[in-house]
Amino acid sequence: MSILKEVYLYFANGLFFKAQSFGSEGTFVGEVVFNTSMSGYQEVITDPSYTGQFIVLSMPEIGIVGANNQDRESSRAACTGVIVSSYNDFTSNFRSEQSLSAYLKEHNIMGICGVDTRGLIKMLTIQGAMMMIASTELTQECELKAHLEHTPPIQDIHFIKEISTKASYAHTDSIFDFAHFDYGTPPHFRAKVIAIDFGAKRNILNELIAVGLEVEVMPHNFSAADILSRFKAGEIQGVFLSNGPGDPLVLHNEIEQIKQLIQSDVPVFGICLGHQLLSIAHGYPTYKLKFGHHGSNHPIKNLQSGAVEITAQNHNYCVPESIAQIATITHRNLFDGTIEGVRYKDKPIFSVQHHPEASPGPREARMLFEEFAKLCCARK
């Protein structure tokens, strides 16, 4: 049984209050955002794109399904902490291997409960995402404020070099039971692609394999010259740019390498951060949304088919409308009209802001992986 401790929270807007801690103890600083998913909290917590952030979960009751080793989206801790209304230490799920409290402590993630999450989310929608500090050690408002003021803002931190793989590797694992999905049995490899790891979710790599793509994962500090040499030699047929945390504008070296990639005719597919980096590399800088899009129930309009797709989302940044000068806008967010997908004119390059691999969330947009596979096969 998890023993709750007192934890003190201080926000950049001056809000200060006491709650209870059920995760790792200590002093933690990060940007606070909210997620509207009703399920899949373990996948959310382990999504590398949440690095450096506290996640306010809108689902009021959290913890009953516990945690297990299969539902993680990365091998290491991702978010800084989670904030919930009511935490349940008792688990009632045949797949549970440990309580959420034990899982958070194992991965050094803070868990905070006993919070009016409805009120907190309302504050964030009005005032926007902001930095906060939470501590089981510091109890005075002045102490917390001073500590927070000496912490660099999230947009100045280069998270990618901490979470990206350190060496290239072949991704062969898959959590899919192919017999229960519409891809049928595992296909033979149709083409080989390089996946650049800016904080890639495991399920993205699984989806690439599911459509018959052999996947080699490379670190964030990749060499475009090396990739293009292998593409010209016929060793690979495409490049995938993954999701990841933080402000894309701080990734100067990565952007320079992508600029070299897009000068060639190599097929490129980007998701989330990869989508943003492609925009910047083409000369169209991203901008920060007020409180971002985080959840597994966000509607978008597929402008090519006319269909409305419910999607998983996790981003604070967006590409500008001016990108329509060089790319066709393929998807739009139906909450605020922002761009959710583009296809570059006269180039084998496309990208989306949402997460077609879901996890958690619906799989209505997963055929984008098949589109990428066809694009790569055309280059063999």
> Among 150, 152, 246, 236, which Cα is nearest to 198's?
246
pLDDT given for residue 2 in this prediction: 66
1, pLDDT greater than 70: no
Residue 346, judged by CB atoms within 10 A of its CB (0-12, 13-18, 19+), counts as: exposed
Alpha-carbon distance of 249 to 364, in angstroms, equals: 30
In this prediction, what percent of the chain has a pLDDT beyond 70?
96
> Among 299, 244, 339, which Cα is nearest to 50's?
244
pLDDT given for residue 252 in this prediction: 97
354, pLDDT greater than 60: yes
SS3 40: coil
Across the range 92-107, mean pLDDT stands at 95
pLDDT given for residue 365 in this prediction: 80
pLDDT given for residue 187 in this prediction: 58
pLDDT tens for 10-49 read 999 999 999 999 999 999 999 999 999 999 999 999 999 9
pLDDT tens for 223-279 read 999 999 999 999 999 999 999 999 999 999 999 999 999 999 999 999 999 999 999
pLDDT given for residue 62 in this prediction: 97
pLDDT given for residue 11 in this prediction: 98
pLDDT given for residue 183 in this prediction: 47
Q: Is the CB of residue 227 less than 8 Å from the CB of residue 261?
A: yes
76, pLDDT greater than 90: no
Across the range 99-117, mean pLDDT stands at 97
Catalytic residues, by residue number, are 272, 355, 357
Beta strand spans in the chain (E): 5-11, 16-21, 27-35, 53-57, 61-62, 81-83, 86-87, 110-113, 130-135, 169-171, 191-196, 213-218, 238-241, 268-271, 287-302, 308-318, 327-333, 339-344, 349-352
Q: Which two tokens stand for residue 161?
A: 């070099």
Q: Is the CB of residue 255 less than 8 Å from the CB of residue 281?
A: yes
pLDDT tens for 274-331 read 999 999 999 999 999 999 999 999 999 999 999 999 999 999 999 999 999 999 999 9
Per-position b or e across 215-254, b if 16+ CB within 10 A of its CB: bebbbbebebeebbebbeeeebbbbbbbbbbbbbbebeeb
pLDDT tens for 128-186 read 999 999 999 999 999 999 999 999 988 889 999 999 999 999 998 664 444 334 444 55
Q: Which residue has the tokens 């809000």?
A: 15
Domain ranges of the chain: 5-156, 160-377
Q: Is the CB of residue 301 less than 8 Å from the CB of residue 331?
A: yes
pLDDT given for residue 178 in this prediction: 42
H or E element: which one contains 254? helix 252-261
Q: What is the CA radius of gyration of the chain?
A: 21
Q: What is the CATH T-level fold of the domain 160-377, as seen in this structure? A: Rossmann fold (3.40.50)
For the domain spanning 5-156, the CATH number is 3.50.30.20
Residue 317, judged by CB atoms within 10 A of its CB (0-12, 13-18, 19+), counts as: buried
